[in-house]
Amino acid sequence: MSLINNKYKLIKKIGSGSFGIIFEGINIRTQEKIAIKTELISNELRLLKYETNIYKILGNIGCVPKIKWYGKDQTYYYMVLDLLGDSLENIVKFYGSLKIKTILQIGINILNILMNIHDKGFVHRDIKPENFLLTITKPKKIYIIDFGISKPYLIDNKHIEFKMTHKFIGTQNFSSINTHEFREQSRRDDLESLSYMLIYFYFGNLEWMNESIGFLNKEDENIYVKNKKKDLVNNEKIPKILMDFHKTILALKFEEKPDYNLYIKNFKYELENLLV
C-alpha cells in the first residue's frame, strides 16, 4: 500500500475517521504533498465513494479541498485530495481560548462557507472545530472537510420534508438540540453547531464537555447534554454578539433560509467597533 495509482506515496498517518485512516502523502511525479483518505473494501460501506461525489459537487465553491483521484486496490478504496494544515480544534487547544476579534473573523469565514454549501443543496451535519482546517500556505484560509454524513436537503429544488429519525447523527458536543431530539436536520442545524463552536472558542470549553459524571447509558448522556444546551441561553458570560446569533439561529424554522448576510453584517459591525 506504499505506492497508490503508481504515483501517490504514503508518508505518515495524520488522522482517522469513522471508516478509515487519513495519511499525508506525496505525488512522486510532481512532489506535491497531498492527503489520502482510506476505507477498507471489506467494510462494504462505500462511504468514501459517497463522500468523493459530494466533494466533486462542491469542489468549485472554494474553501473545500479538491479531489485529485479516487480509486482502489485489492484492500482499500482511496480518496486523494488537497493537503491542509492545523484544525481549529488544534489551535484552540494550543491557546486555551481565542479572542473575540479572532472568533468573529472565524465566524464570518465559516458563515460564507456554509452559505455556499447550503446554496448547493447540502447540509454538512457534522460542524465541529476538527472539521475546519487551515491551509498550509499563506495567507491562511479556512477550509471545511469530512462530508461523510452530509446529505442533500434539496431534492429537485424542493426542500425535504420534516421527519423524526431513528439515530443520532453528528458529534454530541456540537450537535443541535434538534439532533438530540432525533429530528431531521436542515440548514439551521449546521448554524446552531457553528454557534456552539464560537462559544467554545471564547471559553476554551463548553459546560457539557469533559464531565466526570458516570452515565448509565447513551440515552442519559444525550438528555444531559441536550438540557445543558437548552440552559445556555441563560449564561450571562457569553458575549452579546455570540448570544444574539445563537438565539437567532434557535428561532429558525425547519425549512427557513437563514439570513447569512445579516449574520455576517452583524459580525463585521461588531468587529469594526472592536478595532476602533
Average pLDDT on 8-14 reads 95
- The pLDDT value recorded for residue 210 is 72
Query: Mean pLDDT across the stretch 58-67?
Result: 92
The pLDDT of residue 19 is 74
Residue 211 has pLDDT above 70, yes or no: no
| CB hemisphere CA count around 88 (13 angstroms) | 26
Helix, strand, coil content of the chain in percent (nearest 5): 40, 20, 40
With a cut of 80, say whether residue 60 has pLDDT above it: yes
Domain boundaries, the chain: 3-82, 88-275
Residues with catalytic roles: 126
Q: How confident is the model at residue 272 (pLDDT cuts 50, 70, 90)?
A: very high
For the stretch 112-138, pLDDT in tens is 999 999 999 999 999 999 999 999 999
3-82 and 88-275 agree in CATH topology: no
pLDDT-derived band of residue 44, with 50, 70 and 90 as boundaries?
Answer: confident
Percentage of residues of the chain with pLDDT beyond 70:
97
Per-residue model confidence as pLDDT tens digits over 161-205: 999 998 999 999 999 999 999 999 999 999 999 999 999 999 999
The rounded mean pLDDT for the chain is: 94
The CATH number of 3-82, from 1.20.120.530, 3.30.200.20, 1.20.140.10, 1.10.3720.10, is 3.30.200.20
pLDDT given for residue 5 in this prediction: 94
Measured distance between the N- and C-terminal CA atoms of the chain, rounded to whole angstroms: 55
Q: Which amino acid is at 48?
A: L
Q: Using 50, 70 and 90 to split pLDDT, how confident is the model at 213? A: low
Mean pLDDT across 70-91:
96
pLDDT for the residue numbered 276: 63
Quote the pLDDT of residue 18: 65
Q: CA 118, CA 61: separation in Å to the nearest integer?
A: 11
Angle between helices 240-250 and 187-203 (to 10 degrees): 160
Task: Calculate mean pLDDT across residues 21-39.
Answer: 96
Of 202, 165, 158, nearest in space to 182 by CA: 165
Give 141's DSSP letter. -
Fold of 88-275: Transferase(Phosphotransferase); domain 1 (1.10.510)
